[in-house]
Structure 1
Amino acid sequence: MTSGQDIDTLMGHLGDFGKYQAWQFTLHILSAITAGLNMLSLVTVAAVPEHRCEISEHDLNKTYTELNETILGVHIPRLQSGKFDSCSLINTTTNATYKCDSWVFDHTYYGTSRAIEWEFVCDQRWMGAVAQSAYMFGVFTGAVWLGNLADKVGRKPVFCWSAVLQLLLGVGVAFTPEYISFLVIRYLYGIFGSAGSYIPGFVLTMELVGPSKRSMCGVAFQAAFAVGIMLVAGWGAIIKDRQLLQIIYGCHALVLCGHFWLMDESPRWLWANGRTSEAVSIIKKALKTNKSPVTIAPEEYTGKAAKEKRTQNEKAGVLDLFKTPNLRKKTLNVMLCWFANSLVYYGLSLSTGSMKGNPYLVLFVMGLVELPSYVVTVYLMDRLGRRSLTSFEMIAGGICCIIAVNLAEGPVSTGFVFAGKFLIASSFAIVYNYSAELFPTVIRNSAMGLGAMCARTSGALTPLITLLDSFDPKMPAIIFAVIALVSGFLVTFLPETLEKPMPQTIEDGEKFGIGDTCFTSLCAKGAKDEDEDGKPTTDMEVKPLKSQNDAVY
């Protein structure tokens, strides 16, 4: 029996989702809630409320005054759309227009915000976009650096120490006195706030639960992320002071700090790195928690991992994803998939941000609308497979972008925006599971980190791309749609992972899915090749077993 088969056998004794897995999964998924909350915190903390140029004879002490259109028309020019220009005034003596340098803000929904204090409007609009981009580039850094680190030193240390730093930075950023230091701390906050715990937490779950529960648990992470978005809106509606609000956001990391004592390391990671006795010890604990009658003798497994495998694993890192042709093709394809999903997801979110009404309610609904898409995703993933569903939803989401931007503003256009958000939220959720199943254990966290890096790159670029609407209002949406369509088509060349065993080693990862594309199979369950005798065989010789005692991960 090989080392990889040993750990598969041991993990199979636990069943797919017993009491132990449920408890650990609960601990892991808390990181998704804080990740979503941290990611969108700037939407309220640095919100740009309704504003216009200050009219000195009406706005006393820079206080926003509600004025009728007649008075506004005397002092403020109109844009081609018919709306009042928030960046210009009319000289009532010469009737010439000029750029203003002082603004007043409507405080109906926001008491204070960074955008009000530092005036992220008009020619300084870029400052708000850069602030959000700084956080996203922090997530980019964390995804690469911490993802690779988690493959080398373990999932648990990276998860737990990131939680501590997330708490310190989340509270500390509330007290930054000026813009540059704010950007620096936001960057560091991004490293640990939405990457450091979230990605290892997701991988821990994928390496612990059985095949039949991977889809449900993976999508549940995305639903928890959406709950984090709803928390941003909920706290924002209650707390009007931006400093106290940010402190509240940062303190949510306290729920992760107890994981030092409550959460276990991944037995698969321990086994793959030669720490066999620790892996067996955790599995024995899990069997006891699950009240399993199975007993295992640690001495039978201690030292099973071969020395040469330990040497290989110590050297395994993100670069191994590009050294062999099949892994390289899969890696580049998945990187584009993450990039495209994130770009359209945030692009559609920004387009709905202009909706009229209570901004907290709008933000809350933006998180809420994702939940039914995840229910549908869980139902369909294990029936249609990952590949076909991801491809269809990305292509359909891109088409929704194109249709929405070419329709006049109204209910129909809004409907296509929400349809696009529904589809992309679903495909984005699948990508997490899909990526974890495509890549081998020894570099799985690195692969997830690389994917998240690409997603955060596009997330960072999204607010900057939206600035292109000053040239053509349709340009941002067309860019989002084209990238989604291209990536959706390329996904059809990835192998299906449904009901396939997850690869353990670099060699397994290179062999996995060779010759399996959407075009070599008539169904989404994964292609099967034929050997010389015409006997069908899967891409890997190991097949997932059905019973609790012989289940394979």
Structure 2
Amino acid sequence: MADPTPLLPHSTSSDPISTPPISLDSVIERVTTNSAWPQLLQAIVVSLSWFFDGQQTFITVYTDAEPTWHCTEYPNTTCRSTSNICDLSTSAWAWDRPSSTTIISDFNIQCASSLISGLPASAFFFGCLLGGFILATLADSSLGRRNLLFLSCFTMCVASLITAFSTNVFVYAGLRFISGFGRASIGACALVLSTEIVSRKWRGRIGIAGFFCFTFGFLSLPGIAYVNRHSSWRTLYMWTSVPGILYCVLVFLFVSESPKWLFTRGRKDEAVATLGRLGHWNHSSLNLYLSSIPLLEESAEVDLFSSVKNLFEKKWAFRRTLALMSVGFGVGMVYYGMPLGVGNLGFNIYLSLTLNAMSEIPSFALTLFFIGKWNRKSSLLTFMMTSGVCSIMCAVVSSKWMQIGLEIVSFFSANTAFSILMIYTLELFPTCVRNSATSMVRQGLVIGAIFSPVLISAGRNYNEFFSYGVFGVVIICCGVFVFPLPETKGVALCDTMDEQERKEVTDQINTSI
């Protein structure tokens, strides 16, 4: 009787692999191990999208700021620096800078309700929330990582450019919503695409490189805003959107699709071509090795939301998604809340945001050098607890210098936890749902960000514990959800839900033995 096992390809003289790989991850691991530069260069280009993401996320700190004013009539017993300008005659006061400096003075909404003045920022984060749910699955189904990254970044930057021509606060808020909607998938697409084209030893470091780019985007804002402090807020959007559009052209022309995604969609020839470019491999050799791997079940045509359905239909995937989103909620509340609320401590807005942005650099550097050595669970939990304790102490101590010091340590720890959480999420889910899972976790971060401004306002009006104290309590409580998650340090990435489930069963058996 004939041997039912198909013949495996044999290596050639130009082929350094002596035994055929048994999985797609093995193919990519071996192709990329000895040819680092092509993959690293593309991964860096992909990670640059985080730079523009960081700018658009925090740009409203300056464009939507409450401008300062002064009295114009002296002597005037009715006009004082502590007066409410809404109770004063328009001839009794004037803005310190041109009225076009921020949207508050430009659109004359200084006396509007907090709902109106805060509408643009809320619209942006609501757009992020809605876009994350709608766009996330497209990267795993029809569009792929590269196309969705281009579409998301292009939408965000074009909407940002058009925002500079807004005529009123409602048009402005609508364009901020569109920008946030497009921005929602940038981080997830960039993280997944950049880490799927490099070998395992570079996976964590490349992921952290993207976070560095976000920090530099964040850090560039105080400088751009300070240089243009006497110019219109519209200038800030021009400065940040035009380079972003040029970057999108670079992505469209030079970035390749993830070979893992191509193969899971049944597009083996394209996967071979991409791997050949990234690893300088002979196409016939790659075809032979990929032929030994059966096309994956997920390569069949599926509807757009199949990957999200898998996350909720599979009990193990649902539990992981829910736990990671809960962790993300706590981390996001502190990560976004600390920079937005540091003005409550009485520090200069340019200096305070610069200090917060600069604290991200040692955070990412620390994670970059130790991500290969750290256990995911213990390190994530440690930094969450540290952030929570420092945040609570920030609300308790009275010294302003101690408060700013504790605030920076808390933000530093939350930022490190953010980085580890994203890498951890990549390793907990297979290729077919990885982008969707990453986006869902980022949704948890965004939901935490939505609550942050409300708590900051409560802390400013009533007691600081309502902001910093609540931040600390929430992130500590959310850390509990880390315990049931499995450890993933150094694991191979799976490609299908079935493969992930088989791996989980095997690991449980090995652990029990």
TM bucket, shorter chain: 0.7 to 0.9
How do residues 465-480 of structure 1 correspond to structure 2 at under 5 angstroms?
A: 465-469=455-459, 470-480=461-471
Change (3 A) 1:286 1:39: same
- 1:143 equivalent in structure 2: 132
Q: Distance in 2 between matches of 1:172 and 1:312?
A: 37
Change (3 A) 1:218 1:186: same
> Are the aligned partners of 2:54 and 2:217 in contact in 1 as well (CA < 8 Å)?
yes
Change (3 A) 1:300 1:207: closer
The Cα shift of 1:32 comes to 0.5
The Cα shift of 1:452 comes to 1.5
From 12, 24, 47, give the equivalent of 2:42: 24
Q: Distance in 2 between matches of 1:247 and 1:172?
A: 9
Query: Structure 2: any 5+ residue segments left out of the alignment?
Result: 1-5, 9-19
Q: Distance in 1 between matches of 2:208 and 2:195?
A: 11
The Cα shift of 1:377 comes to 1.6
Change (3 A) 1:307 1:473: closer
- 1:277 equivalent in structure 2: 269
TM-score normalised by L of structure 1: 0.81
- 1:179 equivalent in structure 2: 169
Q: Distance in 1 between matches of 2:224 and 2:428?
A: 38
> Are the aligned partners of 1:272 and 1:305 in contact in 2 as well (CA < 8 Å)?
no
Change (3 A) 1:495 1:128: farther
- 1:43 equivalent in structure 2: 61
> SS of 1:57's equivalent?
coil
From 278, 289, 312, give the equivalent of 1:286: 278
> Are the aligned partners of 1:346 and 1:462 in contact in 2 as well (CA < 8 Å)?
yes
> Are the aligned partners of 1:105 and 1:116 in contact in 2 as well (CA < 8 Å)?
no
Q: Distance in 2 between matches of 1:401 and 1:367?
A: 17
Moved more, 293-302 or 487-496: 293-302
Q: Distance in 2 between matches of 1:129 and 1:409?
A: 30
The Cα shift of 1:302 comes to 5.4
- Give, as a single letter, the amino acid of the residue that structure 1 aligns with 2:273: S
How do residues 228-243 of structure 1 correspond to structure 2 at under 5 angstroms?
A: 228-239=217-228, 240-243=231-234
> Are the aligned partners of 1:199 and 1:449 in contact in 2 as well (CA < 8 Å)?
yes
Q: Distance in 1 between matches of 2:203 and 2:192?
A: 11
> Are the aligned partners of 1:345 and 1:421 in contact in 2 as well (CA < 8 Å)?
yes
Change (3 A) 1:76 1:345: farther
Change (3 A) 1:348 1:252: same
How do residues 369-380 of structure 1 correspond to structure 2 at under 5 angstroms?
A: 369-380=359-370
- Give, as a single letter, the amino acid of the residue that structure 2 aligns with 1:242: W
From 181, 201, 210, give the equivalent of 2:190: 201
- 1:94 equivalent in structure 2: none
> SS of 1:15's equivalent?
helix
Q: Distance in 2 between matches of 1:4 and 1:149?
A: 29
- Give, as a single letter, the amino acid of the residue that structure 2 aligns with 1:281: A
Q: Distance in 1 between matches of 2:454 and 2:106?
A: 21
Q: Distance in 2 between matches of 1:357 and 1:472?
A: 18
From 280, 287, 290, give the equivalent of 1:298: 287
- 1:224 equivalent in structure 2: 213
1:498-547 alpha-carbon deviations (Å, 9 max, x no partner): 0111221112344555799xxxxxxxxxx99435xx3xxxxxxxxxxxxx
- Give, as a single letter, the amino acid of the residue that structure 1 aligns with 2:116: M
The Cα shift of 1:221 comes to 1.2
Q: Distance in 1 between matches of 2:99 and 2:217?
A: 20
> Are the aligned partners of 1:4 and 1:504 in contact in 2 as well (CA < 8 Å)?
no
Q: Distance in 1 between matches of 2:40 and 2:94?
A: 48
| In the alignment, structure 1 residue 417 sits paired with structure 2 residue 435 | no
Q: Distance in 2 between matches of 1:365 and 1:396?
A: 19
- 2:73 equivalent in structure 1: 57
- 1:214 equivalent in structure 2: 203
Change (3 A) 1:380 1:108: farther
Moved more, 382-391 or 419-428: 382-391
- 2:419 equivalent in structure 1: 429
The Cα shift of 1:335 comes to 0.6
The Cα shift of 1:409 comes to 4.0
- Give, as a single letter, the amino acid of the residue that structure 2 aligns with 1:530: T
The Cα shift of 1:227 comes to 0.4
Change (3 A) 1:436 1:408: same
Q: Distance in 2 between matches of 1:110 and 1:408?
A: 36
- 2:486 equivalent in structure 1: 495
The Cα shift of 1:133 comes to 1.6
| In the alignment, structure 1 residue 504 sits paired with structure 2 residue 495 | yes
- Give, as a single letter, the amino acid of the residue that structure 2 aligns with 1:230: L
Moved more, 420-429 or 407-416: 407-416
TM-score normalised by L of structure 2: 0.87
> Are the aligned partners of 1:205 and 1:217 in contact in 2 as well (CA < 8 Å)?
yes
> Are the aligned partners of 1:148 and 1:446 in contact in 2 as well (CA < 8 Å)?
yes
- Give, as a single letter, the amino acid of the residue that structure 1 aligns with 2:73: E
Moved more, 451-460 or 394-403: 451-460
> SS of 2:464's equivalent?
coil
The Cα shift of 1:125 comes to 3.5
| In the alignment, structure 1 residue 189 sits paired with structure 2 residue 207 | no
The Cα shift of 1:356 comes to 4.9
- 1:530 equivalent in structure 2: 511
> Are the aligned partners of 1:390 and 1:430 in contact in 2 as well (CA < 8 Å)?
yes
> Are the aligned partners of 1:394 and 1:485 in contact in 2 as well (CA < 8 Å)?
yes
- 2:28 equivalent in structure 1: 11
- Give, as a single letter, the amino acid of the residue that structure 1 aligns with 2:55: L
Query: Structure 1: any 5+ residue segments left out of the alignment?
Result: 59-70, 78-83, 90-98, 517-526, 535-553
- 1:330 equivalent in structure 2: 320
| In the alignment, structure 1 residue 266 sits paired with structure 2 residue 247 | no
Q: Distance in 2 between matches of 1:180 and 1:220?
A: 37
Give the length in aligned residue pairs: 488
1:82-105 alpha-carbon deviations (Å, 9 max, x no partner): xx645379xxxxxxxxx4575956
> Are the aligned partners of 1:143 and 1:199 in contact in 2 as well (CA < 8 Å)?
no
Q: Distance in 2 between matches of 1:513 and 1:415?
A: 43
